[in-house]
Amino acid sequence: MVHRSIARDVRDARLIAGTEFRRTLRAIRANDSRFASVVVLALFTVPMGLVWLYGAYALGEGVDVGPGAAPLIGSFVLPAVAGFAATVAFQTVQDGPFPDHPTLPLSIASTRAVVLSKLFAALVAVAVWLVVPTVVFGGAFLAGAGAGLLAPAVAVWLVPIVLAAVPLGYLAGLWLIRLNRRLPVPTAGKAGVWAVFVLGSIVVGQRVGYVVADEGLGSLETGFLPAFGPTTAYASLLFGGGELPMGLAVGAALLAVGAIVARRATTEAAELWFADRPDSAENEPEGSMRPPTPFALTKTGRVAWHYLRLAYRAPRRLTHLLFLLFLVFPMVGPLAEAELAALRFAPSVGVLACALLAGATFSLNPIGDERGTLPVVLLSGTDAAAFVRGRVLAGLVVGLAALVACVALGAAVGVPPVALGLLALLAVGLSPAAGGVAAGFGVLLPKYEPEEIFGVETVRPSNVPLFAFEIGTIAVSALGLLVVGAPAPTVGSLVSRWPFVLAYAAVVAGSGAVGYLVAVRRLGAWTVER
């Protein structure tokens, strides 16, 4: 093997990473749907960021930020390393082990250069999405505490933490990919574990937020995050404290860890790219191709069974549902704050979950999701309405499973049976309409371009219909819960509000019918009749 200098590998890595970055920007500008998604995301994020900025400033008011705060700041060192590393690991698993278009970079550059290019890309992503917001919101917090001049020092102080965390996260991502290949568990089981992990992380984050709001920042040091000598010494560097030698040693150790782990990641990546071969077929159950009796009775049911089976055998087709968790996570707050007492809201959450899943699971990209089988769908002779109804029915099955679980929780904590029945009736009425609206959004802005998510090439819905449907469904479902008198509606409350109930039902049914007709007409215009 010809020896290559580190300088040459760094240069090649910079060229590869720069090329990939420019290619991504060109792809966004060339695709109107992706560009619109970026604009919508920015319009959604900027107002929220301003609110959080004011919250950070208000949180800092009255806080003494000085040398005495070094233990508290030091308690954030290890969680910061873990958080940045977890983000990079998540991104590595999502993007897959190979670089984009791997043949060219793996042919013209060394493995170390390709790994370094991935690390450079991860560094830029962490800097843009995590470090810059941390410095901005941290600066607002420090300004509230009367120590705004510390913000530039915080930016420099974070550099060793990030340079240690990024290689750690990349290596952890490679290990997770290898474990995924070797673990003899069906893919559906792995997807379930991943969803539980994400939801658990949200619950823990909400719980920490409520503790900080109730007890102050000092509760983190005493109850959640570890603080000890080396991390406290590293934090004291912000104030030029007396533990300067120890603090500098910790910073040097973080940089050394990053370099050592980056070297190990090169070896791991080479083994994963060139020696290790995935053998996931053994973990995928075949099962019967024949639909069960309830689905076999109608053409719509058979279509629904087809999509349910696809989702079971390839759950990564549903990765867009992770966005649901991030949109509805504020509603987890009452669960984190009130614990078991909040379970009386579980049936109401089930109504929302049922409506969201009924539409978002299969109906948000009914044309682009077919990919190579789209010609078969258009030439099959099956009318477009059956395909649209089948997708909605498949999503409704998934949504009803979530509804049943939430209703069971509500029954366990004593929610009256009448209230459970009325909320279930609301969910059953909302969900088909949500499916029709989702299908209408999906055919207006289809997405055909595949992308690699969690190591598998898939096509997920465009962000515009995804966010529009989810935000709209949350608003409409919340209005419905308010109209029926959740969390414990009664027949009397519905009778007393009958004009509002009828108006709400008419709006829901009308919007669902319009979305359904738009989807059927658009898909039917392409279908070849026999």
pLDDT tens digits, one per residue of 382-404: 677 888 888 899 999 989 988 89
**Residue 283: is its pLDDT beyond 60?**
no
C-alpha 456/C-alpha 428 separation (Å) is: 34
Terminal Cα distance for the chain, rounded: 62
Question: Per-residue confidence at 52, pLDDT binned at 50, 70, 90?
Answer: confident
pLDDT at 207: 63
Cβ–Cβ under 8 Å, residues 448 and 369: no
Q: Let me know if 174 is exposed, middle or buried by CB neighbors in 10 A (0-12, 13-18, 19+).
A: buried
Region 433-439: mean pLDDT is 90
The DSSP symbol for 99 reads P
Question: Per-residue confidence at 282, pLDDT binned at 50, 70, 90?
Answer: very low
Lowest mean pLDDT among 95-104, 297-306, 402-411, 501-510: 95-104
Which residue type occupies 55?
G
Question: Per-residue confidence at 261, pLDDT binned at 50, 70, 90?
Answer: very high
Cβ–Cβ under 8 Å, residues 437 and 365: no
Cβ–Cβ under 8 Å, residues 221 and 71: yes
C-alpha 317/C-alpha 391 separation (Å) is: 14
C-alpha 320/C-alpha 316 separation (Å) is: 9
pLDDT at 19: 81
C-alpha 447/C-alpha 19 separation (Å) is: 24
Which is more confidently placed, 453 or 28?
28
**Residue 45: is its pLDDT beyond 70?**
yes
Region 321-329: mean pLDDT is 65
Which is more confidently placed, 186 or 304?
304
Region 124-140: mean pLDDT is 86
- pLDDT per residue as tens digits for the range 450-498: 765 555 566 778 777 888 888 888 888 888 888 887 777 888 878 888 8
